[in-house]
Amino acid sequence: MKVLVVGGGGREHALVWKIAGSPRVSKVWCAPGNPGISECAECVPIGSNDINSLLAFAKENRADLTVVGPEAPLAAGIVDSFKRAGLRVFGPTKEAASLESSKAFAKDFCKRYGIPCGASETFSDAAAAKAYAAGGSLPVVVKADGLAAGKGVIICKSVAEAEAAIDEMLVSRSMGDAGRRVVVEEFLEGEEASFIAVCDGNHVLPLASSQDHKAAFDGDRGPNTGGMGAVSPAKVVTGDVARAVMERIMLPVARGMVTEGMPFVGALYAGLMIKDGEPRVLEFNARFGDPETQPLMVRMKNDLVDVLEAAVTGTLDRVELEWDTRPAACVVMASGGYPGAYEKGKVIGGLADAAALADVVVFHAGTRRAGDEIVTDGGRVLGVTALGVDMKSAIGRAYEAVSKISWEGVHCRKDIGHRAV
> Does residue 48 register a pLDDT over 70?
yes
Phi-psi region of 48 (alpha: psi -120 to 50; beta: other; left: phi over 0): alpha
The secondary structure of residue 297, as a DSSP letter, is H
> Does residue 136 register a pLDDT over 70?
yes
DSSP per-residue string spanning 216-262 = EEGGGEEEE-S-SEEEES-TT--HHHHHHHIIIIIHHHHHHHHHTT-
What's the whole-number average pLDDT of the chain? 96
Length of the chain as a residue count: 421
**Nearest residue to 365 via CA among 197, 230, 223:** 230
Question: 350 vs 29, 335, 353, 403, 408, CA distance in Å?
Answer: 27, 16, 5, 9, 13
What band does 217 get if pLDDT is binned at 50, 70 and 90?
Answer: very high
List CB contacts of 190: < 8 A, sequence separation 6 or more.
273, 274, 275, 276, 280
What band does 150 get if pLDDT is binned at 50, 70 and 90?
Answer: low
CA atoms within 13 A on the CB side of 241: 24
Distance CA 135, CA 60 (A): 58
pLDDT in tens, 275-289: 999 999 999 999 999
pLDDT in tens, 235-249: 999 999 999 999 999
List CB contacts of 58: < 8 A, sequence separation 6 or more.
4, 66, 82, 85, 87
Q: What is the mean pLDDT of residues 305-311?
A: 98
**Nearest residue to 234 via CA among 279, 206, 194, 280:** 194
Whole-number pLDDT of residue 151: 67
> Does residue 327 register a pLDDT over 90?
yes
Backbone φ and ψ for 219, nearest 5 degrees, come out as 75, 20
